[in-house]
Amino acid sequence: MALTFTDTNFEAEVLQSSKLNVIDFWAPWCGPCLALGPTIETLATEYEGKVNVGKVNVDENPNLSVNYGITSIPCVLFIKDGKVVDKQVGAVPKAALERKIVSHM
């Protein structure tokens, strides 16, 4: 199951993690976000223990959206060692996200 990241836990759970973090910035009213949701859940299960896969609701966590310049959703950020190492905007097939995960693990 995908983790839930918030303005409150983001630093401890993501920025201080030694693992690759795959974070889906989404909103419940966004159709493409809802379409991408099952893919994020599948990746969370498949990479459990190796990669932190989670979601940030942009409506509930506006500070994170502003800090990372999120202007279009869905937007998936790949963060490693506290830095954004890759980004994917828009709903894409699972294979596209997997390629990015493998390249940054």
Spot the catalytic one: 30, 53, 76, 97. 30
Structural domains counted in the chain: 1
pLDDT of residue 83: 94
Cα–Cα distance between 94 and 99 in angstroms, integer?
9
pLDDT of residue 99: 96
CATH code assigned at 41: 3.40.30.10
Task: Report the chain's mean pLDDT, rounded to a whole number.
Answer: 95
**Does residue 75 have an active-site annotation?**
no
Q: What does the DSSP 8-state code read for residue 36?
A: H
Spot the catalytic one: 23, 33, 58, 91. 33
In this prediction, residue 6 has a pLDDT band, given cuts at 50, 70 and 90, of very high
Kindly report the number of other CB atoms within 10 A of residue 69's CB atom.
10
Cα–Cα distance between 68 and 34 in angstroms, integer?
21
Query: pLDDT tens digits, residue range 15-72?
Result: 999 999 999 999 999 999 999 999 999 999 999 999 999 999 999 999 999 999 999 9
pLDDT of residue 77: 97
Domain of 76, in residue numbers? 3-104
